[in-house]
């Protein structure tokens, strides 16, 4: 780990001013950043501690949603009564990730920003376009079993690792930020992440020194909330494929609400609203589900070891629909 300057901020605008140098980073839980610093994958010259900011509240909004402070821990968010009652898919997604100890430290804002766990990204003696732009992507023809099949490019096939962000994408969260010029902005989560294209080192739309302050959830969605996560072991493992779903049906078995988001398969939390539209107002029969899976995976591209993710995603999609139609949760 390289030497760095440490400074503690006491209010958001102070934090973003301290972080104006491009080489500065914010630190809260540090559950990913400290590992990256130990391996010298990230080498900030300044760490701005934001743990003293008053951003640990969860508040009701006027339209029936929730406004979540960026410093709310993953454990506290998953256990909050309003989240359990109205956004159970979010609670289940959070509890499917990491361990109890890590969830106690990890923050809501930090979870959005965690980096990929691609082997080559973490091995500094290997080329990696995400770590060192222009050096190449050995994962494409190498060890790629956990990596993405959607949203990839010739420059990068790294998957996004977050469980929480998948549920947030499903729920149409909005990310609020503070900027160095004193302004704020609201970023719909669908616009927050960047596809790798030929710049995989640019992962989101945040500007230098911009701080996530809150995450806002709209009013709850009626339906059965589920989060399924297929992984190599029962805990402390990243998703090979995951599916967050909110599905509702009328008394005749017609699907009236279909929301689906996927983890483990995309370079960002993956949602295709055309797939949801195709399934809505149908009875979720096998032929329609097959059409939906075909549409979801139309541009999927395996790289050898991760080819299995394509049929696995099909099965997980079908399971989510059929179980909801049977009135069962996960």
Is 243 a member of any domain? yes
Domain that holds residue 20: 1-50
Assigned domain for 188 exists: no
Give the pLDDT confidence of 36-48 residue by residue, as tens digits: 999 999 999 999 9
Evaluate whether residue 209 is within a structural domain.
Answer: no
pLDDT tens per residue across span 285-330: 999 999 999 999 999 999 999 999 999 999 999 999 999 999 887 6
Please say which residue of 50, 68, 84 terminates a domain. 50
The CATH number given to whatever domain includes residue 270 is: 3.30.390.50
Pick from 14, 35, 50: which residue ends a domain? Answer: 50
For the chain, residues with pLDDT lower than 50 are none
| Phi/psi at 30 (5° precision) | 75, 15
In a domain, 171, yes or no: no
Domain with residue 15: its CATH number is: 3.30.43.10
Q: Are strands 46-49 and 24-27 parallel, antiparallel or unpaired?
A: parallel
Predicted local confidence at residue 234, as pLDDT: 87
Inside any domain, residue 194 = no
- 89 found inside a domain: no
Tell whether 313 is covered by a domain. Answer: yes
Write down the mean pLDDT value for the chain: 97
pLDDT for 77 equals 98
- Please state the domain count of the chain: 2
Q: Which of 9, 25, 50 is the last residue of a domain?
A: 50
In a domain, 285, yes or no: yes
pTM over 0.85: yes
């Amino acid at each position: 780990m390289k030497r760095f300057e440490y400074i503690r901020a006491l209010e958001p605008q102070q934090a973003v001013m301290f972080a104006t140098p491009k080489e500065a980073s914010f630190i809260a839980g540090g559950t990913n950043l400290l590992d990256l610093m130990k391996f010298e994958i990230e080498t900030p010259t300044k760490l701005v501690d934001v743990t003293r900011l008053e951003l640990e509240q969860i508040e009701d909004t006027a339209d029936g949603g929730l406004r979540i402070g960026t410093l709310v821990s993953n454990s506290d968010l998953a256990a909050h009564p309003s989240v359990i009652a109205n956004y159970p898919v979010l609670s289940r997604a959070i509890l499917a990730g990491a361990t109890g100890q890590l969830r106690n430290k990890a923050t809501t804002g930090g979870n959005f920003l965690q980096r990929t766990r691609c082997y080559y990204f973490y091995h500094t003696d290997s080329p990696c376009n995400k770590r060192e732009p222009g050096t190449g992507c050995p994962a494409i023809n190498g060890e790629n079993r956990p990596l993405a099949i959607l949203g990839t490019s010739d420059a990068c096939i790294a998957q996004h690792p977050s469980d929480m962000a998948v549920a947030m994408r499903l729920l149409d969260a909005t990310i609020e930020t503070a900027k160095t010029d004193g302004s704020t902005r609201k970023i719909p989560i669908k616009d927050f992440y960047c596809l790798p294209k030929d710049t995989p080192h640019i992962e989101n739309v945040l500007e230098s020194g911009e701080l996530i302050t809150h995450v806002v959830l709209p009013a709850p969605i009626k339906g059965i909330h589920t989060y399924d996560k297929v992984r190599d072991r029962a805990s402390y493992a990243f998703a090979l494929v995951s599916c967050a779903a909110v599905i509702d049906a009328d008394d005749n078995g017609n699907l009236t609400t279909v929301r689906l988001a996927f983890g483990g398969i995309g370079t960002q939390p993956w949602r295709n609203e055309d797939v949801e539209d195709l399934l809505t107002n149908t009875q979720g029969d096998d032929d329609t589900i097959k059409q939906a899976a075909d549409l979801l995976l139309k541009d999927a591209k395996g790289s050898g070891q991760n080819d299995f993710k394509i049929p696995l995603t099909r099965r997980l999609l079908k399971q989510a629909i059929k179980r909801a139609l049977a009135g069962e949760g996960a």
